[in-house]
Structure 1
Amino acid sequence: MFQVLGSAWALLFGMFLLMIGNGMQGTLLGIRGQIEGFDTFAMSIVMSAYFLGFLGGSRLAPGMIRRVGHVRVFAALASAISAVMILYPSYPNVIVWALGRVLIGFCFSAVYVTAESWLNNAADNSNRGQALSLYMIVQTLGIVASQALLVTADPSGFILFVIPSILVSLAITPILLSISPTPAFATTKPMSLRQLMAFSPLGCVGMFLLGGVFSAQFGMAPVYGAEAGLSVAQISTFVATFFVGAVVLQYPIGWMSDRIDRRFLVIAVSIVGFGGSMLGMVLGDVFWLLLLSAFVVGGMANPLYSLLIAHTNDFLEHEDMAAASGGLIFINGLGAILGPIITGWMMGTALGPGGFYLFTGVLFAALIFYAGYRSTVGETVPVDETGSYVPMGPTRTTISLELAQEYAIETELEEMEEDETAPAT
């Protein structure tokens, strides 16, 4: 742990500040949009634009880094993020905001690719798991901390937009001044989606559905809070609770993943997520029950991401796992683009704010039925032959996912060697 901190502290601290900035701007726009009089569907377009840019950035960033290098890409894109955050309150227009969200999504995706390749370079076989855990914890803590800052000023003014702009600008300082060497950059050519679907239909369908769930909670949760009449403090607490649930429940579900049939666990986790959605839809007017529903939905959706990747890996050879990661992220990104738009449309109907939870509930229900169907027709991998579960979050790019795949392979090989050398009883 200390070895990872010593070699990557600047990167982790910079990522913490970047996540505060990203978390603030997402929630703040949902609140400010209502103040500016934007309707729910207009805000859904704005929120969806981030995921469109994010998907584009994950595809184009590797080429940018190869052409001009990590340092220039990181500095240029962080500067662009900082500028757009100041642009939002200056031009309160749906088209301007949507274009700004596309740019910010693109820039954050490329910044993540750059940062994660640095993390990959700082880690080795002995601490790769610790590096992944620290990275995920730092990301989540940054988003949770960002929600606390939303109560420090009036969301109708400029200050709350200036704060994340400053934090993003400061985030690049420790990274660019770090003495850590710039890593060589290489990514694996992704597997075709047709091949990936043939290997794991449940993994592909599940990742698409989860893209909608995650983008709804990350993009539309603050819009839901504003439409439901929550105060700024309540909205920030509500949004933070999704991510607290993700951290708290990630490891227990991961522990179960290595001990029972993963398709059964996908069904069970989705059932709990569906129950959390229905709780929020029916009893969301009671604030503590609303928080409970957010904790459950976030706590189920994020571990499901890791669980579906682990399930997909069970049907792949080691040499194919890294190639599959790009396809899984692309499928998840497609679902994430559609999620806010459909959620916004449902909230704009007679359903009102309850459409937010109805949407996540429908996606969880679809995953329940499809996983149940696959359990009757698909091939089963015995529990003692499954690979390792590695905690991951939907904000990861192909770099950290490939890093996680490497860690899972190394862990599996070490366990196989231990079994071979263990004395017979």
Structure 2
Amino acid sequence: MLDVLKNSWALLLGMLLLMLGNGLQGSLLGVRGPEAGFSTLMMSMVMSGYFAGFLFASRVTPGMIKRVGHVRVFAALGSLVSAVLILFPAVVNPFAWMAGRVIIGFCFCGVYVTAESWLNDSASNETRGQALSAYMIVQMAGVIAAQALLVVPDSSGFLLFVIPSVLVSVAFAPILLSISPTPAFEATKPMTLRELYGFSPLGMVGMFLLGGVFSAQFGMAAVYATEVGLSLGQISMFIAAFYVGALVLQYPLGWLSDRMDRRMLIFAGAGCGAAGAGAAMVLGGNFVILLVAAFIIGGFSNPLYSLLIAHANDYLEPADMASASAGLLFVNGLGAIAGPLVIGWVMAMVGPPGFFLLILLLLAALASYALYRMTQRAGVSVEDTGIYTALSPSATPIAVEVAQEYAIEVAEELDDEASGD
């Protein structure tokens, strides 16, 4: 790990600052929108814009990098993010905010693609797994720490928008001044959705459902918390609880996934998350129970992202893993775009508890489908499964491909050791 920190400290520091800025802007809009009189349905459209931009950028950013290079793409997108963050409080209009969220989602995806390609280039075969772990921890830690900034006093109404703008601007300094912009870059074409479903029905359906769950946490949690009357301090703790749970349970669930039928773990994890959402619906008036429920939902749902990718890989040849993962991320992105829109509609119909109602339904559907798939074909034996690699649900195709490379390398090393014995 020391080698990873030595070679990638600037990138990891920059990503920490970026995640601080990104985590704060999402929660801040969720609080300020209802205060400005935006309806729940309108806020769902605003929040959905981020995921639409993110998905679009995952398709076009590779071409941009090939045309003008990593540094120009990185700097240009970072400048756009800073500008849009400053414009949010100046133009308090839901349609302007929705357009801004699309731009921010596009820019952050492009920045992540660029940073992750640098991360891959700086890591060796021996350190790639550690680099991925450090990168994921930094991402989660940044989002968690960002929630504490919500309670900074802001009598002007502008300060809390200026802070993420400054954080994003400063984040580029250590990266651009210390990293050589020469990583190799090749985009992977996803396989067709029909082919993907044929290889892994659970992987494809699960990633779509999970996209809705993740976008609810990242996009609509602050809207829910504002509507039920939580204070700023309570809102920050509530949102942070989702990501603390993800950080705490990611590795234990990953350890289990390498030692049992992954479909059973998907069923159990989705079931636990659904139970947490049900508890929040019924007992959400108690703030402590609300925090515990958020911890459980985030702790079990976020690792399912990596788990579904690992499960799909169990049925694929190494040569097909990268293209399958690109397809899985595309499906996940579609679910993420739809998630806030559907939750906003449900909350408009039944009130704030609709936030947890839809999460419950999505996770219950995932658990039920995992149980159904276990009746349709035999599972892969534990000895033949690939390794679980922890990833954040905000990972781009580049990070997932790096994880695939690492999984293949480990599998080859294990095969070599077995043949040597």
With the length of structure 1 as denominator, give the TM-score of the two structures: 0.98
**Contact 2:347 2:354 survives alignment (8 Å):** yes
**Contact 1:54 1:105 survives alignment (8 Å):** yes
Aligned length in residues: 421
In the TM superposition, what is the alpha-carbon distance from 1:184 to its structure 2 partner? 2.1
- Which segments of 5 or more consecutive residues in structure 1 lack a partner in the other structure? none
Say yes or no: does 1:5 pair with 2:8.
no
> Following the alignment from structure 1 to structure 2, what is the Cα–Cα distance between the partners of residues 155 and 416?
62
Say yes or no: does 1:408 pair with 2:397.
no
Matching residue of 1:130: 130
In the TM superposition, what is the alpha-carbon distance from 1:311 to its structure 2 partner? 0.4
> Following the alignment from structure 1 to structure 2, what is the Cα–Cα distance between the partners of residues 156 and 291?
30
The 3 A distance-change label for structure 1 pair 3 and 307 is same
In the TM superposition, what is the alpha-carbon distance from 1:179 to its structure 2 partner? 4.4
Matching residue of 2:388: 389
Letter in 1 for 2:117: S
- Deviation per residue, 1:1-24 (Å, 9 max, x gap): 121111111111111110000000
Letter in 1 for 2:62: P
**Contact 1:31 1:155 survives alignment (8 Å):** no
Matching residue of 2:207: 207
3-state SS, counterpart of residue 376 of structure 1: coil
Matching residue of 1:365: 364
Say yes or no: does 1:317 pair with 2:317.
yes
After alignment, is 82-91 or 379-388 more displaced?
A: 379-388
> Following the alignment from structure 2 to structure 1, what is the Cα–Cα distance between the partners of residues 228 and 418?
55
> Following the alignment from structure 2 to structure 1, what is the Cα–Cα distance between the partners of residues 155 and 187?
41
Say yes or no: does 1:399 pair with 2:367.
no
Say yes or no: does 1:64 pair with 2:76.
no
In the TM superposition, what is the alpha-carbon distance from 1:271 to its structure 2 partner? 0.9
- Deviation per residue, 1:60-115 (Å, 9 max, x gap): 10000000000000000000000000010001100000000000000000000000
After alignment, is 78-87 or 188-197 more displaced?
A: 188-197
The percentage of aligned residue pairs carrying the same residue is 62
> Following the alignment from structure 1 to structure 2, what is the Cα–Cα distance between the partners of residues 414 and 299?
31
> Following the alignment from structure 1 to structure 2, what is the Cα–Cα distance between the partners of residues 416 and 323?
23
> Following the alignment from structure 1 to structure 2, what is the Cα–Cα distance between the partners of residues 275 and 417?
43
> Following the alignment from structure 1 to structure 2, what is the Cα–Cα distance between the partners of residues 239 and 163?
19
In the TM superposition, what is the alpha-carbon distance from 1:323 to its structure 2 partner? 1.2
> Following the alignment from structure 1 to structure 2, what is the Cα–Cα distance between the partners of residues 256 and 387?
13
> Following the alignment from structure 2 to structure 1, what is the Cα–Cα distance between the partners of residues 48 and 405?
32
Matching residue of 1:263: 263
Matching residue of 2:152: 152
In the TM superposition, what is the alpha-carbon distance from 1:421 to its structure 2 partner? 2.6
> Following the alignment from structure 2 to structure 1, what is the Cα–Cα distance between the partners of residues 252 and 156?
41
Where do 1:184-223 residues align within 5 Å? Answer: 184-223=184-223
> Following the alignment from structure 1 to structure 2, what is the Cα–Cα distance between the partners of residues 275 and 373?
19
3-state SS, counterpart of residue 374 of structure 2: helix
Letter in 2 for 1:83: A
In the TM superposition, what is the alpha-carbon distance from 1:420 to its structure 2 partner? 2.6
Matching residue of 1:38: 38
Matching residue of 2:182: 182
> Following the alignment from structure 1 to structure 2, what is the Cα–Cα distance between the partners of residues 43 and 156?
22
> Following the alignment from structure 2 to structure 1, what is the Cα–Cα distance between the partners of residues 356 and 325?
29
3-state SS, counterpart of residue 348 of structure 1: helix
Letter in 1 for 2:25: Q
3-state SS, counterpart of residue 375 of structure 2: helix
Letter in 2 for 1:205: V
Matching residue of 1:229: 229
Matching residue of 1:254: 254
- Deviation per residue, 1:346-404 (Å, 9 max, x gap): 1111x211000000000011111111111111342111111101101110001110000
In the TM superposition, what is the alpha-carbon distance from 1:180 to its structure 2 partner? 3.0
